[in-house]
Structure 1
Amino acid sequence: MAGKAPVDLVLVEFSGNRFDGRVLTELERLSAEGTIEVLDALLVSRNADGSIEWLEASTVDDRLASLVGEPAGYLSAEDAEAIAEELQPDTAIGMLVFQHSWAAKLADALRGVGGRLLDWERVPAAAVAELAEN
């Protein structure tokens, strides 16, 4: 289904390299509901001693490997290296590429009635918050 809907790259920083499965549970729910399709994932961490390691989805966790399936190749060693340079000790960054599956369904419905999507832009969360304050 990749290519029929908007695709996002999300970077999330985790201090203390703490993971307890809540994020995976939410990703599994969103995927099962058909809201998103996880295309690729990568975890880059700098240990307390300063050493760097990066892991592809298939080596991070069985649940994440199941979500990603065969990685789409959006994330590479070069991405991991670029992120690693900026990491503080005892910190990790999760990189996630996902497709908005719900948007493909909406686009199909629009085309089904002769509609043509002209533009689709993301409004930054800070801009939405600012508008809500006014």
Structure 2
Amino acid sequence: MRPTGPVELVLIEFPQSDFKGEIVAELARLVDGGTIDVLDALLVRKAQDGTVEWLEASEGGDDELARIVGEPAGLLAADDADDIAAELAPGAAVGMIVFEHTWARGLAGAVQGAGGQVLDWTRVPAEAIDALAGEIEKEN
């Protein structure tokens, strides 16, 4: 079995459906640098009249996004789009990105090679780190 890094789902809201190219450029930099692999991506938009549109990365007209996602893994589907759309304000959009932390493959392989297994990989929210750092700073 191939060692894999942790896989995450990131949701990015755009209150005015105003997309900028720097997001795709940064994703491309991370993919090309071997930091992540984008496994799937989906865009969900809710028009002012409440109609919902969702697009796979290959359907959005952005060749660079289609390149870095490649063939979607099928991890995101209509049910996911419907769940997100139910919470969206009219005129807003959400980008959904599923990616693997490829930088962690080596660590996962070393753990497997030593006879171990990664039991959990938990993200600590930035707010929690900031609060802890503030407490430590007060003590010093």
C-alpha distance after superposition, 1:45-80 (max 9, x if no partner): 112232211111111121111111111110000100
Secondary structure at the residue paired with 1:85? Answer: helix
Aligned partners of 2:13 and 2:92 also within 8 Å: yes
CA distance in 1, matches of 2:118, 2:106: 16
CA deviation string 1:85-119 (max 9, x = no partner):
1110110000000000001122224455x373444
CA contact (8 A) 1:40 1:72 kept: yes
Per the TM alignment, residue 26 of structure 1 is displaced from its structure 2 partner at its CA by 0.3
Distance, in Å, in 1 between the alignment partners of 2:49 and 2:133 is: 43
Instruction: Indicate the percent of aligned positions where both proteins have the same amino acid.
Output: 54
The 1:129/1:117 distance shift into structure 2, 3 A limit, reads farther
Q: In structure 2, what residue type is equivalent to 1:95?
A: M
1:128 paired to 2:126:
no
Which residue identity does 1:83 align to in structure 2?
I
- Count matched residues: 133
* Structure 1 position 105 matched with structure 2 position 128: no
Question: Which structure has the bigger radius of gyration?
Answer: 2
Which residue of the partner structure matches residue 27 of structure 2?
Answer: 27
With the length of structure 1 as denominator, give the TM-score of the two structures: 0.90
One-letter code aligned to 2:43: L
Query: Where does structure 2 lack aligned partners over 5 or more consecutive residues?
Result: 136-140
> What stretches of structure 1 of length at least 5 have no aligned partner?
none
Aligned partners of 1:3 and 1:59: how far apart in 2? 31
CA distance in 1, matches of 2:118, 2:108: 11
